[in-house]
Amino acid sequence: MVNASAFKAAYGFSRDEVRLGNWRAAPWNVWAFRNVSELIPTARIAATPGLAEEPAVDPEGILRQELFLNGRKVTVAEILGETSTDAMVVMKSGRIVADFHAPGFTLQSRHILFSTSKSVTSIIAGILQDDGLLDFNELVPRYVPELKSSAYGDARVCDVLDMRVGLDFEEVYHDPRGPYARYRRAGLLDPSEPGEEPGTVVEFIAGLKKGKSDHGGPYHYASPNSDVLGLVIQGASGRRFPDLASERLFQPLGARQDAYVTVDRAGTPRTGGGINMTPRDLARIGEMMRQGGMANGRRIVSQDWVHDTITGGSSRAWAESASATWLPQGRYHNKWYQTGASSGAFFALGIHGQWLYVDPRAEMVIAKFSSQPDAVVDDAKDHNLALFDALAKIV
């Protein structure tokens, strides 16, 4: 039972103001991003049984640090405020050295990853490749026959992984009548339009057509690709994605808190953006990637897959995309971004400011959750990357 007065005192609005139609907008998103399961159906991703979380690590030493970013002197705390940060975990050489929590956020709080989910999902694909169950060079319909007549009918799994599907789809977040809005409604992320039968995620994807570009061309960001990857994973393994993710990633990793993933009316998981988890458990995934696929003395995914993911991919595909202006030396491979910096830093990124950043040279991992008012803020992305680079020098 929600204590209405305490809730309003904490958030500045009442619980009954938060609805499916406004949950991504400020100020309601601050609460909604931590409580997605109260708004959208979800499936559990079970953590490791019996593992308790260690006490929080005081972040004050890091928060007081002064940095020069874009020609101005600021503290880490000021940057976290400017980027609407809900939580940030910093790991150094495998050890948690700081936990920042905004008011109301705890060690047990779970937060939506948005498109950082894509990078988590890709690890499961890598595990299935290691098992010999998934061939990245195979066509998508081998694993998802329902998509044979769609744009994915002649697309390879590797095209899906690298966002190089020639797809007639534009990711326009603020168009209420475009294909992206219909895609969101199919995933139960937005309320249905009057008289509309939005269908399911699979039905929506099965209706997508090819664009002007061939598969395997320039990088073209489209979230449905990552829901297709989830369908491919389920088809290749014969398992539900949340069960497989629990058994092969979260439990061997030593995840302390159950995660969950949003599902549509048919139970299809939104692997393109619907995973919710704690920042510490997300940081543990980053540390596993830094360690070449190892965690707790166990191999989770092959070193070859990790090495390929963080160093491979097509520079040309990225250079020919609109994203090259933001990250000129970057690449995108297996749903992870590479900075192109000498540090070898790579990261996962989600709208509204969700990050998992790994700097191998500094032996540093940062998981950062935010509730930025707008889905995409280029200045905030630049500020975050500058913050992470600065932290690598002082942590």
The residues that are catalytic are: 115
In a 10 Å sphere around its CB, with 0-12 CB exposed, 13-18 middle and 19+ buried, how is residue 347 labelled?
Answer: buried
Contacts of 1 (CB under 8 A, 6+ apart): none
Picking from 289, 189, 271, 178, the residue whose alpha carbon sits closest to that of residue 224 is 271
Please state, in angstroms and rounded to a whole number, the distance separating the CA atoms of residues 285 and 282: 5
Cβ atoms 112, 36 nearer than 8 A: yes
Secondary structure in 3-state letters for 299-331: ECCCHHHHHHHHHCCCHHHHHCCHHHHCCCCCE
Q: Which amino acid is at 13?
A: F
Residue 53: left if φ>0, alpha if ψ -120 to 50, beta else—which one?
beta
Which residues share a beta bridge with 69? 72
In a 10 Å sphere around its CB, with 0-12 CB exposed, 13-18 middle and 19+ buried, how is residue 263 labelled?
Answer: buried
Cβ atoms 57, 327 nearer than 8 A: no
Please state, in angstroms and rounded to a whole number, the distance separating the CA atoms of residues 109 and 257: 9
Please state, in angstroms and rounded to a whole number, the distance separating the CA atoms of residues 25 and 174: 11
In terms of residues, how long is the chain? 395
| Cα-trace Rg, the chain | 20
Q: How does DSSP classify residue 52?
A: P
Tokens matching residue 198: 């939005």
> Cis peptide before 59, with omega less than 30 degrees from 0?
no
